Amino acid sequence: MLVGLELYIGGVLLLLGAAFTLLAAIGVVRLPDLYTRMHAASKAGAVGGGLILIAVAVLSQDASVSMRAVIGVVFLLLTTPVSAHLLARASYLSGYKPCSQTLIDELASNNEQNPAT
Amino acid sequence: MSTAFLVVILALIWAGISGNFSGLNLVFGGLIGGVAVLVLREALVGPRAFRRARRMLSLAVLFLYELMVSAVRVAIVVVRPDMSNAVRPAIVAVPLTVTSDAEITLLANMITLTPGTLSVDVSADKSVLYVHALHMVDRDAMIADIANGFEKKIREAFE
Amino acid sequence: MTPEIFIEWAALISLVLLGLALLVSLVRIVIGPTLSDRILALDLLTVVAMGFVGAIAVRTGLWLFLDIAIALALLGFLATVALARYILLRGAGTQTAAGENS
């Protein structure tokens, strides 16, 4: 039993990662506007992909593979917020307005004061 | 003393990544590690290096915990059938107290990956961070949350 | 249940879930009212594909697939950055108001 424990852990991590990725995809379809969708894609997506890579690291039982998988996770966690931030900023500046449910938009009032930015 | 220790660790990591623990490969990893330590000498020396490393580690642990919480929360919102009630989006201006580019970048990245918030833009004078919230309950509470959580930790780690 | 059989089933179920995720994000690429929505879905699609390759690596035991997964993540990041810059350069006024899908 104890011998295969890491295999069980790896399998559960793999399933969790796949489930989070599916939830991220469902969120991207169901949420009302780009900015809320970005919450689903960047958080659930990064965690889902990261968990799958960690599962590979646990299951491979090979130091070089595990190391590369961990580096892949770090890389994923570094790049996902950067691309989400860049896309959000580019969309906002090109005129993508948040959906009508949005309560306050302090970025809009700031841009009216100094439209040059 | 600690420099030699660092070179040995880097050599072992190199051998681990390349999957080859032979003597020649270890020496090669040690050479690369030595060059890296030589290049980064300025940033590594000093008595506060270890204390700083511990704070960085505590920041990383906090970040990983918050990341898991945020993913679970987003997942719960997504599968709720009455989703439009659970979503109260807002863009809030958060005043920044950290000043350097590296700190702002780190803060913005961490905000993006933590519960319910996503950084959208930084004002031109680097004094305000615009944050999109998925479910805003109280504007002032949210700003205080960011200021007392990550911002404080980042300032401690970079002091 | 031996660990080997559990892993086999876990990998299979993961592949099914990830396949569903591919289809669902494809829906957003097709209907996405603006270019930004499509880019976001495309970004997610590369992450899903990366997970798919990882699950295949577990199922087949060919760990070399991991390198493909990491390269795919890199490619997805660069593609998103390039497309975001394209939106920025194309300028304002071309995107419609936010798409509401109630």
Mean pLDDT of B125-133: 80
Instruction: Say which residue, A75 or B150, is predicted with more confidence.
Output: A75
Cα distances (Å, whole numbers) of residue B59 to A95, B52, B79, B91, B115: 36, 10, 30, 26, 16
Instruction: Say which residue, C29 or B96, is predicted with more confidence.
Output: C29
C81 to chain A, any CB pair closer than 8 A? The answer is yes
φ, ψ of residue B127 in degrees (nearest 5): -105, -15
C99: confidence class by pLDDT, cuts 50, 70, 90: very low
State the DSSP H helix or E strand holding residue B131, giving kind and residue range, or none if neither.
strand B128-133
Instruction: Say which residue, B159 or A112, is predicted with more confidence.
Output: B159
Residue B112, pLDDT above cutoff 50: yes
Nearest CA in chain A to C18: A18
Mean pLDDT of C74-100: 73
Q: What is the ipTM of this complex?
A: 0.82
Q: What is the pLDDT of residues B22-66, one digit of tens each?
A: 788 888 888 888 888 888 776 666 556 667 777 778 878 888 888
Contacts of A72 in chain C (CB under 8 A): 66, 69-70, 73
Residue A7, pLDDT above cutoff 90: no
Q: Is B132 helix (H, G, I), strand (E, B) or coil?
A: strand
**pTM for the whole thing?**
0.80
Domain count, chain A: 1
Cβ contact, residue pair A84, B118, below 8 Å: yes
Cβ contact, residue pair B113, A80, below 8 Å: yes
The pLDDT of residue B133 is: 81
How many whole angstroms separate alpha carbon B3 and alpha carbon B42?
Answer: 12
With helix as H, strand as E and coil as C, how does B64-100 read? HHHHHHHHHHHHHHHHCCCHHHHCECEEEEEECCCCC
**Backbone region of residue C61 per phi and psi (left: phi > 0; alpha: psi in -120 to 50; beta: other values):** left
Q: Where are the domains of chain C?
A: 3-90
Residue A54's domain comprises 2-113
Find tokens 């894609």 and name the residue.
Answer: A41
Q: Can you say whether the dihedral through the CA atoms of A24, A26, A31, A34 is positive or negative? A: positive
